[in-house]
Structures are given as C-alpha cells and as structure tokens.
Amino acid sequence: MIRTVLLAPLALLFISSSQLAYAAGNVVSIPLQRSFNRNSNILVARRTARTQIKQGKRLMQLAPDVDFDEDTHDVEPDFGQVRLTDATDTYYYGVISVGTPSQNFTVTFDTGSANMWIPGVRCTSKACLQHNRYDHDLSSTYQPLNGQFAIQYGTGEVRGFTSQDTVRVGGITIKDQPFAETTSEDEVFELPDTEFDGLFGLAFKSLSSGGLVPPMTKMIEETLVDEPVFAFALSQGHRSFGELLLGGYNELHYKGELRWMRVTRAKYWQVTMEGIWYGDGKFNLLSLSKDRDVSKIPLDLITASSTEAPLTDTWHQEKADAAAEKARKKARRKAKEGDSEMDMDTKRRHPPTDSSPKIKKLLPTGSDASPETSAIMDTGTSFLLGDPSSIQLISRIIGADFRTGDMSCAHLNELKSFWISLGGFKFEIAPEHYVYRDPVKQTCSSAWVPSYDSPFWVLGDSFLRAYYAVFDMKDKKVGLAPINMPLRHF
C-alpha cells in the first residue's frame, strides 16, 4: 500500500526588468528563467502570454525548460495544479511541503473546513506515529504562534498548537502561513483507514478555528494566484488521479457550461437546495418525506414517471386535504397582504429546460423562492448526508438498508438517476455515483447516509465526482458542470 506520493514542487518563472516581453509583428518574445523567489513572476509571464495570444500574436524564444501548452496557451500550465490520489473512492489527497528545508506531507483538501493542520513531532498518538510528522526545529522559517488548537470533525478530534512557516503547494510558495501542529489525534486518523497525514482547509475564514487565516485566503490576499478561484476534478477508481487547480479552472475538464450558484452564507460552501427527484418522477422527495411516515408512502407513486403516477384512495385524500389547507392559507395571506394573482402566477413560472443531459434548469440562479433546505459542497466528506426521513425514503426506493446502507449489487442496472436541485438547477447523480462498491470486499452500499445533527445536507465526493466543481471566493459562488476528465491510474 502506497501512503505517500512525493511530488517535487513546481519551479516558478522570473522576468527581470531588462527582459520584459516585447512584440515584433506577430511574434512575442518572453525570455524567462527559473527562480524560486516570487510567485508573482510566473503570474506576470502567464498574463502577458494570454494577452498577446488574444491579440493574434504567437510566442517564440521561450527558454528550453519553460512549459507552454499549445491548447490552452498557458505558460507553465501546471502552476497551481495539485495531483490528487483517489483512495477507494472515499477520500482524496495530494502533497504539500512545509518549512525550510521542505518537509513533505500528504493532505486531504477539504472544502468543508478552513484550517490547515499536520502531525507534529511531539504527537505520540498512534495516528501520528504512523504518518509523517513536522519538526519545526529543523525549519529556519518557523515561527511560534503559541495558540492552542482543537477541532472536532464528524468522525474524530485533533488537538495541538499553532505555528507559522513557509508552505508550498502546487508550485505556489506561501510565506508565514499559520497552521496547527497536532499533539493528539483520534484513532479514526490511523492507518489503514486514513492514508493522508493532515488536512488543508478550503472553506471561508469565518469557519476557521482560532481565527487562523486559511491558506487559500492568504494566497488571494498576497496575490499569489491568478484569480480568487480553485477547482476540483475528482476521479473515480481506486488509485486513480484527480486534480485540484489553485487560482483558476480548466475548461478542458468539463462539458457544456458551468452553472453558477450563489453561496448563501460565506462560511461553508453553502447553496440553496430545492429538492430531490427520482428518475422522471413528479414528486419532490424532500417535500414528500417531510412530517410523514415514509414507510407508508407507496413506492409505485414515487418511481412512476410524471405522466403516469398512480394515486391510491388514501393518498389521494391526503393530497386533497393538503391542497385544501394550502388554498385556505393562500386566501388568508392574500386578504392580509393584498397579493395579486398576477404576482402569484409570476412566482410559479419556470424557465425553459436546459439542454445539458446532466443538468436541468428549475429556477433562476439566485432565486428568491424559499428553498426546502440548503446543502454544502464538501470534498472532505465521502458520501451524501441528509435528513433521516428523506434518506429513509431514498433507501426504500433503491432497496438499501436504512441503518447500515447495505444493498445488493445484483440489480444496479435497474436503478435510475436522482436529480438534486441546487441554486435553481437540477443536477443528475447516477447509480454509479450514489452506490458505493467496495473494491476489496466486492460489496455494495448506499452513499445516502442519514445525519441527525446537521442543519444542512452535505454533498460529498459521491456527488462531486460527477462534476467539475469551481469555487469562487471573491464572488462567493460555486459552479458545476459535468466532468470531462480521462481516468488515469498508478
């Protein structure tokens, strides 16, 4: 079993004041040489190249060791790129280095948290002893912060103290980055369950424990990246490779157009969630399972298409009573507020269905329509976590045990896709993504997991694997599009 993949930090580029790019006819010469001094040098080179290419000029006379991508017209296209290793389709990790000289660590890049932590050499927990540990006494750029650190995740806790040092990720050098050295870690972080050493949080600063500045926030504040954006392309298949791109996104990694959703609260990457549908069924499972005994809902009602959904007498009466009560409330509200029928009709209108086969338009992005709930995009969570009532109904539909998630692998080809409405768009999640197949045990289980204490749904890797996900920290929005990335293995 390979635990650590060490990637050499990508070299940066340097442009001296006497070697600025110049244009002669349709040729642009950009003499570049390697340097590890400033991240901004490579950004200048890339922006110059992009500008000149857009003007119809072509690049020549690049130094022999400088990469130039003919397809994307990028100088050093790997700058900001982190290769992610898929560990049994349950989590992903990449490599960073800390200190001077560098000490290498594997970390999971987590959009559901905002702190960075790595095992400290003073940690004697079994989990720490099984992983790479950071020794600040060996680093000439280390500075103590002397703060206490403790954070509780859904599966375990880590404790330690805060430090500051140089961090390198994807060829980007972050000086004086605050983080935590752990002194104790729960057993959930032990091998073989957890191959990565530490965690690299990518949520907003408001979520950070101890008020530490998250690495991505610091990169943006110090202009170390092209744009205040990062993007994930998660692979599927044990030991396959995915990608995290810091400072931009790769248009070659997705199909169609990105569908942008507004972040409703800049803490997590949280968006509105309007509903879940099974196949081409007409019923929103979130609404259907709310305040109702889901064990009594007839499955033929849910699984039938929207044009042929049958209604039993009991169900028909229940729906009729609910509709009557809704009409009475509407009448009282109109009498009180003077709301016009035209206004109500306008609120009910839907725009045309989007042409993408994996994304359907439901409501305008950023709609003021009241959502059923909300959801966060969390690369640090393996599966899909939601309210127990809805998960129980979903489990019935796909034939999974509600409590354990166990299900047969024999009838997977008979299952349909679910559609999840987020920020006004419906996104497809196919059986290959919501059914987890253990590559070792050759068993199947549902990726839909009940959560009894979360105020929102958590859409983890099972969902995000189907999409190229772009996170914009400046404009506070998330963009999704069907992924288009070849599968690569060790």
pLDDT tens-digit readout, 480-489 = 999 997 656 5
Provide the pLDDT confidence category of residue 251 given band limits of 50, 70 and 90. confident
Structure confidence at residue 161 (pLDDT): 97
Convert the pLDDT of each residue in 414-445 to its tens digit: 999 999 999 999 999 999 999 998 877 889 99
pLDDT above 60 (res 43): no
Name the helix (H) or strand (E) containing 296: none
Question: What is each CA distance from 246 to 172, 193, 294, in whole angstroms?
Answer: 9, 27, 43
Provide the pLDDT confidence category of residue 88 given band limits of 50, 70 and 90. confident
Q: Residue 447 corresponds to which tokens in the numbers above?
A: 């990726």
CB atoms within 10 A of CB 353: 11
Name the helix (H) or strand (E) containing 199: strand 198-201
- How far apart, in whole angstroms, are the C-alpha atoms of residue 274 and residue 257? 21
Structure confidence at residue 291 (pLDDT): 80
Structure confidence at residue 448 (pLDDT): 97
Convert the pLDDT of each residue in 346-405 to its tens digit: 222 222 233 344 554 343 333 333 345 999 999 999 999 999 999 999 999 999 999 999
Structure confidence at residue 52 (pLDDT): 62
- How far apart, in whole angstroms, are the C-alpha atoms of residue 488 and residue 239? 8
Out of 47-51, 226-230, 243-247, 276-280, which region has the weakest mean confidence (pLDDT)? Answer: 47-51
Provide the pLDDT confidence category of residue 295 given band limits of 50, 70 and 90. confident
Give the CA-trace dihedral at 292, 293, 296, 299, to 10 degrees: 60
**Residue 92: closest CA among 252, 250, 237:** 237
Structure confidence at residue 235 (pLDDT): 87
Convert the pLDDT of each residue in 351-366 to its tens digit: 223 334 455 434 333 3
Provide the pLDDT confidence category of residue 281 given band limits of 50, 70 and 90. confident
**Burial of 146: CB neighbours in 10 Å, binned 0-12, 13-18, 19+:** exposed
Which amino acid, one-letter code, is at 39?
N
Convert the pLDDT of each residue in 113-153 to its tens digit: 999 999 999 999 999 999 999 999 999 999 999 999 999 88
Convert the pLDDT of each residue in 201-228 to its tens digit: 999 999 999 999 999 999 999 999 989 9
- How far apart, in whole angstroms, are the C-alpha atoms of residue 247 and residue 223? 10
Provide the pLDDT confidence category of residue 11 given band limits of 50, 70 and 90. very low
Structure confidence at residue 97 (pLDDT): 97
Structure confidence at residue 120 (pLDDT): 98
Contacts for 173 with CB less than 8 Å, ≥ 6 apart: 9, 12, 36, 39, 166, 167, 224
- How far apart, in whole angstroms, are the C-alpha atoms of residue 131 and residue 447? 28
pLDDT above 60 (res 340): no
Out of 44-58, 170-184, 447-461, which region has the weakest mean confidence (pLDDT)? Answer: 44-58
- How far apart, in whole angstroms, are the C-alpha atoms of residue 194 and residue 171? 25
Provide the pLDDT confidence category of residue 239 given band limits of 50, 70 and 90. confident
| Average pLDDT along the chain | 78
Which amino acid, one-letter code, is at 231?
A
- How far apart, in whole angstroms, are the C-alpha atoms of residue 135 and residue 141? 12
Question: What is each CA distance from 295 to 284, 289, 298, in whole angstroms?
Answer: 16, 10, 8
Pair 281, 303: CB distance under 8 Å: yes
Structure confidence at residue 372 (pLDDT): 53
Residue 307 has φ and ψ, to the nearest 5°, of: -95, -10
